[in-house]
Structure 1
Amino acid sequence: MTPSRHTSKSDLRHPLIAHDVRIDRWIMGLLILVTAIRSLAILISPLELGVDEAQYWAWSQTPDFGYFTKPPLIAWIIGLSHALFGHEIWAVRLPAPWLHLLTAIILWRTASWIAGPNAGRWAAVIWIALPIISVGSFVISTDTPLLLALSVALMMVIGVLHNRFDPLRGMFICGLAVGVGFLAKYAAIYFLAGILLWALWNRLSGTNNSISLRHLLLFGLGMIIAASPNIIWNLTNDFTTVRHLGDNANIAKQSFDLAKVGGFMLGQFGVAGPGIFMLMLGILRPPFSTSPKRLMICLSLPILGLMTIQAFISDANANWAVASYPALTIWLACWIAQTNRWRWGLLASGINAAIAIVIISASMAGSLGVFTPASDPLRRLRGWEALATDVNAALEQHDAKLIVADRRATAALMGWHFYDSDIDIAVYDRDGIPSNHYERNHAFGSAVTGTRAIIAVDGRTQAPDLPQVNWHANPSISEHEISKNRTRKLFIFAGTQTTLP
């Protein structure tokens, strides 16, 4: 990527070395430019926070080692950015493109150790242009820190195999990185399974490599140490997050639908880009004679296979296989460099670059323009501020300090808009079984004595059946266009809750 610390000034005068340095500087400049443009898009975008982003922000206001639906790392990152830059939408999202830049640099270094400088450059270019990275550089998600952590872990293993790191230290740090990834998203566990599968494969094939049982134990120790805060949190909270993860997989609702398998695989063309994913599929063939290639297989194909089975049995979102892409990116970059198929790489990355331009433009404009589908995905990022304005008018009119929402989305976004005020947010849990963060931690109840005014925001025309609440007649209506053919229409009810001492 850059000249080593042992490269002298006289070495830099050598034509080939100087040429490599210039190319590396151009690639690094390109990565920084793309990241800066993506950051600018975040700064000027009119799009509002999504539901998950608002919920992650809400978590960040009460730092902990775990939350109802996710581990804590995303909340820690957002909390730090929010503390540094203030209560701004862009402050929530700004870490995303820079974390992806770090991931690209890590993959650059890793691929260069396997197949030389060109492989490293290709890995960085392929990664920064992936459509899932373009989207993930605007909307912050748990996948972003997960991918960085897994890329660091992969770099450590490759570094050990290529004598860049001491095996004991390298595998311990690798475990720490996977543990940090576990704090981002439990999909980090795939890396552990992949490492064990790879070690078994090497042993059965008689391959001599530098990873022994002792090194694997150090890897496991590092992972447990880094992941221990969330492990302990789950132990003391009835395995709340783990149980929610099982509910999210939805294995009990079996469909055995081949169409969902097709939908999941088509989704991967959207995640990686059509050209890049076709190339990734094209190189998934024997021989698998080298240990690094086997490692890439074990860190990618089992994830894709498992999620394909999940899609067949029940359902699987396209991004659920995203943990396989650091390994696939390095594998493809090495193949392009070693076979001199740069034209294929250039064509596929060019397609992704065009997609990236569309995504950046849509982020800046707040609209997909002529590319807008009938079910405009950006509609979920519009209209919340207008709703908050309508709700605030009702709060002031009735001198209320409590908003009772009918769903997680409304609670999350109202929490964001009424930040640093004396307004409380609650959700009415109709069945008494918490299914999200707000039903578990902010459920509406009667823990007050006396009388208080409340405002309920509901999608139904009839006021919610809340205990000990008398509703006033004639709710107000908040209705705002959020896409060409859709509006968000919610009813705002005012009432009085009376609780006996």
Structure 2
Amino acid sequence: MIAKRLQPGLAVALALALLLAWRCWQVLHSGAGLHVDEAQYWYWSSRPLEWGYFSKPPLLVGLIRLSTDCFGDGLLGVKALAMVAWLLASAVLWRLGAAMGNERAGLVAAALLAATPASGLLGLSATTDSVLMLFWSLVMWGAWRAAHAEGAAAWRWWALTGVALGLALLSKYTAGALSLSALWLLWRCPPARRGRLLAGLALAAGIAVLLLLPHLFWNMHNGWPTLHHTLDITVQGGAASAAERAAGWGHKLGSALEFGLGQLLLLGPAGLAVLALAWKRRHLPAAPAGQTRALWSALGYAWAFAWPLLLLGLLQALRAKAQVNWALPALLGVCLAAGWLAVRRRISGQTLTVWVLAGLLLSAAIAQGGDLRRWIGRPAAAGKPAWDIWSRMRGWHEALGALAPALEAQRQLPWVTNDRTLLVQTGYELRALQPELRSWSPDGQVRHHFDWKQPLRPNAVPALVFLGDEAPDAALLAHYPLARPLAQAESGRVRLQAWLLERPPSALTSTGKHP
């Protein structure tokens, strides 16, 4: 019996290890650096950790700290544990399928999730979605096990579910949508079991709130910045979308269509093919699914973790700008449902293998699209964009490396920029110089974390280094009229200039400080 259990476990572990090795190879050979958000998370992780940040809860930042402590500050060091989290989410789906009574359905669900473009592309990055996907899947698994266990075992599973829920909320506020899934499952369970289920859900929710309390206290102490930012981009859509919202239903329907098509693209060919084949065979006799006696049907349970989030995402798209990745955890429920449908509709293993491989190859082709022409010696012609989803992540290492000699001589001065992307990329690429970075907001608005925590106060320093893609703006030159170019560099789409800015001697006191 132990050997029978180990055999699929070893196969899953080997498959996920090979997929992780392949993704590591992709990262190392892509020629791209960190995304702006990854560089920002790394920057936060390299400083004393906090219980929250301007735009995000703290869990991913802590994970990146652990990852870089283990593997260094290189690209793989920053991304490693987040990449592992994506693959662990697939493993959890496998175990959930087994717990529900059909290990093959769980294996198919795990393979379908790994074959999604979401996993194949976002799985190469250190984003909040990586840890959210892992802990969302653990909530699904833990809640099923807890609801079908008895006595002390049930309470242990509810406690573990609460821990997973709390960590999901510390990953991304999207996890709050799990409350709708819980209410739906509570309503759909047999009335005689609702009391026990409600007690278990209350325990899980209580533990989650306890884990969330330090983050809530941090937010309260700092004026709720994370909540305000989240509401701005999800409910209000940001200042940039005000004119679009005023355009009326044309914009709303376009935004909803963008969201819907985005979900299909994130699911990819493998998941779509399985759902289409299952629909085509819906009138054929279904195979026995092998599900154990349960409070919910397997499909009902799976869809309960998908449709509430998809509905919220659609409503959000109608209200503001579509956030395609906002409903990403719904893929877990969709892939689990597709796994069960594949078993019930007798979709062959050969067919499933072909579509899973197609999904993996599609993700790889998209991920490496910007490198394929270079590898075969036919780079894109000048002025013609290459098929490259990582284009915004290229050029920073080379351009900032070219500026490094000129900047090293100015390490005693603060380095200032009005661009968040440039600030965090400078912090990462020139981390060996340990620069003091400051953010300049000409109109004084707080646009992001660095305007809030690391603003330039012009009267505080007599001189600074300005970094930008063009000369310093007039508002900054009004404070520092003595401007001298230090260096400039260009690599691909990245064009940078470094300037030394100083105040005139008359603006300083005899001690060299500002009056």
With structure 2 as the length reference, what TM-score do the two structures score?
0.83
Residue 53 of structure 1 and its aligned partner are, at CA, apart by 0.5
Q: Counterparts of 1:472-491 in structure 2 under 5 Å?
A: 472=483, 476-481=487-492, 487-491=493-497
Q: Is the 8 A contact 1:115 1:334 kept in 2?
A: no
The aligned amino acid for 2:221 is: T
Deviation at 1:333, TM superposition (A): 0.9
Contact 1:42 1:363 in 2 (8 A): no
Query: Closer, same or farther in 2 for the Cα pair 1:211/1:275, shift >3 Å?
Result: farther
Q: Which residue pairs with 1:185 in the alignment?
A: 172
Please, which moves more after superposition, 51-60 or 20-29?
A: 20-29
Counterpart Cα distance in 1 of 2:32 and 2:305: 35
Identity %: 22
What is the identity, as a one-letter code, of the residue corresponding to 1:329? C
Give the match for residue 309 of structure 1: 315
In structure 2, the residue matched to 1:199 is: 186
Q: What is the RMSD computed on CA atoms of the aligned residues?
A: 3.2
> Which 5+ residue runs of structure 1 have no aligned equivalent?
1-6, 482-486
Instruction: Establish whether residue 251 from structure 1 lines up as the match of residue 236 from structure 2.
Output: yes
Residue 500 of structure 1 and its aligned partner are, at CA, apart by 1.6
CA distance in 2, matches of 1:90, 1:261: 36
Corresponding residue for residue 274 of structure 1: 269
8 Å contact 1:42–1:364 — kept in the other structure? Answer: no
**Mapped pair 1:500 → 2:507:** no
- What amino acid is the match of 2:362? I
User: Per-residue deviation at 1:52?
Assistant: 0.4
Change over 3 Å in CA distance of 1:173–1:434 after alignment to 2: same
In structure 2, the residue matched to 1:3 is: none
Deviations 1:107-147 (A, max 9, x none): 10001222412112112211222111111221110000111
1:44 deviation in Å? 4.5
1:95 pairs with 68, 71, 81, which one?
Answer: 81
User: C-alpha distance in 2, partners of 1:157/1:163?
Assistant: 10
Q: Which moved more, 1:34-43 or 1:207-216?
A: 207-216
Structure 1 residue 202: Cα displacement = 3.2
**Aligned pair in 2 of structure 1 residues 382, 208: CA closer, same or farther (>3 Å)?**
same
Structure 1 residue 250 displacement after superposition: 4.9
Of the candidates 194, 199, 222, which is equivalent to residue 214 of structure 1? Answer: 199
Q: Does 1:459 align with 2:453?
A: no
Taking structure 1 as reference, are residues 130 and 108 closer, same or farther at Cα in structure 2, changes over 3 Å only? same
The aligned counterpart of 1:79 is 65
Match of 1:296 in 2: 302
1:422-441 equivalent positions in 2, closer than 5 A: 422-441=434-453
Q: Match for residue 4 of structure 1?
A: none
Q: How does 1:68-467 map to 2 (within 5 A)?
A: 68-163=54-149, 166-202=153-189, 206=191, 208=193, 211-251=196-236, 253=242, 254=245, 256=249, 257=251, 258-277=253-272, 279-280=274-275, 290-342=296-348, 345-359=352-366, 361=368, 376-396=388-408, 401-446=413-458, 448=460, 451-452=462-463, 454-461=464-471, 463-466=473-476
Q: Which amino acid aligns with 1:127?
A: L
The one-letter amino acid paired with 2:491 is H
2:16, 2:370 → 1: CA distance? 19
SS class of match (2:443) = coil
Number of residue pairs matched? 477
Tell me: CA distance 1:137–1:275, structure 2 relative to 1, closer, same or farther (3 Å).
closer
- Specify whether residues 404 and 382 from structure 1 end up closer, same or farther in structure 2 by C-alpha distance, changes over 3 A only: same
Report the CA distance between 1:302 and its aligned residue.
1.5
Residues 218-271 of structure 1, C-alpha deviations (whole Å, 9 max, x = no match): 121111122222122112111110111011125263254212222222212221
Superposition deviation, residue 426 in structure 1: 0.9
Could you say if the C-alpha distance between residues 462 and 237 of structure 1 is closer, same or farther in structure 2, counting changes exceeding 3 Å? closer
- Greater Cα shift, 295-304 or 252-261: 252-261
CA apart distance, 1:495: 1.3
* TM-score, length-scaled by structure 1: 0.86
Counterpart secondary structure, 2:496 = strand
Given that 1:127 and 1:133 are in contact with CA atoms closer than 8 Å, whether structure 2 keeps it comes out as yes
Check whether the contact 2:369–2:387 (CA below 8 A) recurs between aligned residues: no
Hey, what does 2:290 align to over in structure 1? none
CA distance in 2, matches of 1:182, 1:436: 21
